[in-house]
Every structure is written in C-alpha cells, then in structure tokens.
C-alpha cells in the first residue's frame, strides 16, 4: 500500500537462489504491514506506554516459550541444527526477568494474552511436532527482527517509558551477540546451508509469511485489549493510567469485564483457521 512507510531498503530486485534472500523478498510486504500496525506505529512515534509494553511482554513471553521449547526439542533436526543458537539468541529468560521487574515475584499469575497469541503459540507447537524444518521460518521472523528494528525499539522503549536503567529492558539486549550485523550474516549463511526440496522451500516462505501474520494479529489484539483497559484506567485515575503499577483496573467488576472480553476473544480462536 502506497501510504505505508517502510524502514527497509528496497530489496525486491535480484532475488537469488539463497533461502535468506528469498525469505526476505517473500516477506517484504508482510514486514511493511507489521511495521504499520498501530502498536508498531506508536513505537516509531515514541508513544509506547507502560500498559502497552507490559502487555507486549506477556505475549512475547508465551511466544518465545513455545518457540524456544520447540527449538530445544528439535535441536538436532538437520534443518534446525544450523540455526540453533540458544547461547546467543534465547529470549525466554530475558522476558522472565522483565516480567518480574514490572509485575513482581508473582508475575506468572499476572501474564495475560489475547487469542492471537494463543493461536501463534499453538501454530509453533504444531510445527515443532509435525514439520520441524519450518521452525526456521519462525526463528527467522522473530530473531532477525529482534536483531534489526528491535534494537531501535529497545532504545525507544527506554526513552518513552523514562526508564533510567536497563531494568525491564533485558529482552532487547543480546550479550552473546557482539555485532548484530555480523550475527545476522552468520544466521543467513546457516539458513542457506539447509538442504530443502523446492516444495519445502516454498512451504518455508509461506510459513514465514504466516509467522508475520501471526505477529500482526497479536499486535492488533493487544491494541484491542488496551482500548478496554486504558480507557477504564484513565477514567479512574484522571489520565494517570500510564503511571499505574497495575496494568489492569483494580475494581473487581472491571477485572471481570476485561476477563470476559479476553475470554470471548480466546473462544473466537476455535473459528479461526490458519
Ligand atoms: C517498528 C517496527 C519495525 C521497524 C521499524 C523495523 C525495521 C527493520 C529494519 C530497519 C530492518 C533491517 C532491514 C535491512 O537490513 O534491509 C528490519 C529487518 C527485519 N525485520 Fe523489522 N522492523 C519492525 C518490525 C518488525 C516486526 C514486527 C517483525 C516480525 C515480527 C520484523 C521482522 C524483521 C525481520 C525478520 C528482518 C530481517 C530481514 C532480513 O534481513 O532478512 N520487523 N526491520
């Protein structure tokens, strides 16, 4: 769409036979759509709020839990082994740290996710069970994204939320990766070493687009959840919702309303075929 902005270079020309080039070209439009979701646009404008960030962390936690458990379980699969970099890339523990920072030691009871996150998680688990080679597409979408635009988003988060230290921002930090640029090159070359039939290669490109779509749906669902929670919080605290320690309204009746909305969205899951 011509009104959409993209921060990426024009890379449609000269797509070679390497999987890394093909996957980048095949997901170009999806990337633009992901960048132009309300959540990501808010990010780019430096308008990310604490409730947005906390909700995003909850969903990222569930997504990476599924992704990293499936990668671990399939670590010796011939397609997964070349791109298996738990030391350098694993995000699960960083997300646990960030969640504990914002929600306290009882954070596990406070993790709440929309239906789209559940669908994303289920997709990764099914891929891990039935077609582990396609985990490469999911690892590509998340990790290379985290090492690209994600690095800028980390700085924006710190500034937007006025955080003085790196506490709560572990997700964006990759101590095992000294140069994101060089590491991405390594990851791409490992992807290119994977042997794939033409059919599996096409399946991989399709799965990468599915992965982007799932991310887009998560961002859209998070915005819907927020439009319920922040409106109510604003009403209650005269526009001071962002400073609230608790992302959700404290009144039991409001918690119930939010719960019902989330439950309805989650039930909708059964009707949504990928
Ligand atoms: C504010 C939103 C975003 C911005 C500003 C952004 C920006 C960028 C930039 C500048 C690059 C480097 C492009 C290049 O080297 O040519 C990139 C790469 C990438 N981004 Fe994003 N991005 C955003 C959101 C996302 C999201 C939501 C995802 C997926 C969930 C994603 C996945 C990727 C991937 C997989 C790459 C690597 C492409 C490749 O080299 O093959 N990005 N992004």
The CATH number assigned to the domain holding 152 equals: 1.20.910.10
Using the predicted structure, report yes or no on whether residue 262 has a pLDDT greater than 60: no
Q: Has 24 been labeled as part of a binding site? A: yes
Instruction: Identify whether 153 is part of a domain.
Output: yes
> What is the count of structural domains for the chain?
1
Kindly tell me the burial class for residue 252, based on how many C-beta atoms sit within 10 Å of its own C-beta (0-12, 13-18, 19 or more). Answer: exposed
Using the predicted structure, report yes or no on whether residue 274 has a pLDDT greater than 80: no
Instruction: Identify whether 127 is part of a domain.
Output: yes
Instruction: Identify whether 140 is part of a domain.
Output: yes
Instruction: Identify whether 5 is part of a domain.
Output: no
Instruction: Answer left, alpha or beta for residue 210, where phi above 0 means left and psi between -120 and 50 means alpha.
Output: alpha
Domain of 254, in residue numbers: 19-271
Instruction: Identify whether 95 is part of a domain.
Output: yes
Best mutation site among 31, 188, 220 for ligand 1 pocket (most ligand atoms within 8 Å of CB)? 31
Nearest CA to ligand 1 atom 6: 149
Task: Please count the CA atoms within 13 angstroms of the CA of 151 that sit on its side-chain side.
Answer: 12
Mean pLDDT over the full length of the chain: 84
Joined tokens for residue 86: 């738990």
Structure confidence by residue, pLDDT tens digits, 1-41: 333 445 454 444 578 899 999 999 999 999 999 999 999 99
Instruction: Identify whether 118 is part of a domain.
Output: yes
This prediction's pTM:
0.84
Band (pLDDT 50/70/90 cuts) for residue 226 is: confident
Joined tokens for residue 159: 């500034």
Instruction: Identify whether 141 is part of a domain.
Output: yes
What's the pLDDT score for residue 230? 57
Instruction: Identify whether 69 is part of a domain.
Output: yes
Q: Has 28 been labeled as part of a binding site? A: no
Nearest CA to ligand 1 atom 38: 24
């Amino acid at each position: 769409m011509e009104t959409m902005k993209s921060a990426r270079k024009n890379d449609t020309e000269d797509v070679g036979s390497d999987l890394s080039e093909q996957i980048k070209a095949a997901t170009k439009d999806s990337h633009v759509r992901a960048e132009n979701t309300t959540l990501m646009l808010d990010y780019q404008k430096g308008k990310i709020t604490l409730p947005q960030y906390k909700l995003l962390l909850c969903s990222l936690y569930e997504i990476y839990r599924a992704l990293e458990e499936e990668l671990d379980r399939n670590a010796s699969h011939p397609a997964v082994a070349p791109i298996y970099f738990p030391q350098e890339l694993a995000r699960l523990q960083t997300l646990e740290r960030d969640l504990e920072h914002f929600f306290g030691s009882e954070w596990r009871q406070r993790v709440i996710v929309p239906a789209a996150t559940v669908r994303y998680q289920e997709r990764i688990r099914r891929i891990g069970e039935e077609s582990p080679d396609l985990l490469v597409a999911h690892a590509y979408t998340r990790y290379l994204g985290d090492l690209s635009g994600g690095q800028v988003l980390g700085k924006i988060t710190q500034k937007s939320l006025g955080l003085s230290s790196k506490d709560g921002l572990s997700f964006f930090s990759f101590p095992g990766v000294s140069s994101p640029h060089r590491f991405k090159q390594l990851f791409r070359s490992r992807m290119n070493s994977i042997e794939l039939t033409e059919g599996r290669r096409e399946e991989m490109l399709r799965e990468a687009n599915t992965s982007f779509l799932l991310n887009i749906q998560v961002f859209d669902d998070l915005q819907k959840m927020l439009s319920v929670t922040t409106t109510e919080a604003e009403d209650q605290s005269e526009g001071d919702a962002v400073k609230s320690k608790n992302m959700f309204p404290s009144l039991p009746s409001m918690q119930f309303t939010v719960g019902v909305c989330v439950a309805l969205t989650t039930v909708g899951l059964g009707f949504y075929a990928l």
